[in-house]
Chain A
Amino acid sequence: DAGVIQSPRHEVTEMGQEVTLRCKPISGHNSLFWYRQTMMRGLELLIYFNNNVPIDDSGMPEDRFSAKMPNASFSTLKIQPSEPRDSAVYFCASRAGVGNNEQFFGPGTRLTVL
């Protein structure tokens, strides 16, 4: 297995533009997590899904952020409109199932909003 796959690896955009980040979890894993990493706040959980259903989105900073998981092998995190303070590294992680808490992380997407 290639592990968790994220695309793009780097994204540079201008303020006000829509940004879509993509994640493919490890096959067979039924939980998926989106994190944001910044120097100031460290690693913050934005949202997570169990069996494609959003369970906890309390970490989503505001309405400009949305996440979907249309099927077990794909998830998106969308920011619309983007702002410079959204610049961060966004990680996706997946987990085999409830009862096994080890998470496997993707390589991250480095987002820069100018």
Chain B
Amino acid sequence: AQRVTQPEKLLSVFKGAPVELKCNYSYSGSPELFWYVQYSRQRLQLLLRHISRESIKGFTADLNKGETSFHLKKPFAQEEDSAMYYCPGSARQLTFGSGTQLTVLP
């Protein structure tokens, strides 16, 4: 079955430290992968999609077909990055999961 896994439910880092949120997938072929972010009590919003290969708010994510991963990275975390992050996979529709709650400590 095609699926995406975020192995960490909770992740805490200190402000200024690098952060990496893990996402592993098991899709065959060329999956379409995204990162969505949900700030406290707000709606989910698209952060990145792998086909655009852009950097948003200092975050980047590279599709690694060898490792079947699409980890989200930022070299210097900020307190305002604290949020819930989802890496949904895409077949006919996005499949979300439990996400990773990132907390950036002062």
| CB of B105 closer than 8 Å to a CB of A | no
- Give A106 to B42 CA distance when docked, in angstroms: 9
Name the one of B43, B46, B49, B98 contacting A42, with C-beta atoms under 8 angstroms: B98
- Report the interface size class on chain B: 10 to 19
A-B contact count (CB 8 A): 47
What does DSSP make chain B's interface, helix, strand, loop or mixed?
A: loop
Q: Annotate A55-89 by CB proximity to B: 1 below 8 A, 0 otherwise.
A: 11000000000000000000000000000000000
Name the one of A41, A55, A102, A107 contacting B98, with C-beta atoms under 8 angstroms: A41
Which residues of chain B have C-beta atoms less than 8 A from A103's C-beta? Answer: 46, 94
Q: Offer 17 A-B interface pairs, CB within 8 angstroms, sorted by A.
A: A4-B43, A35-B96, A42-B98, A43-B86, A45-B94, A45-B95, A55-B92, A56-B93, A91-B43, A101-B34, A101-B93, A102-B46, A103-B46, A105-B44, A106-B43, A107-B42, A108-B43
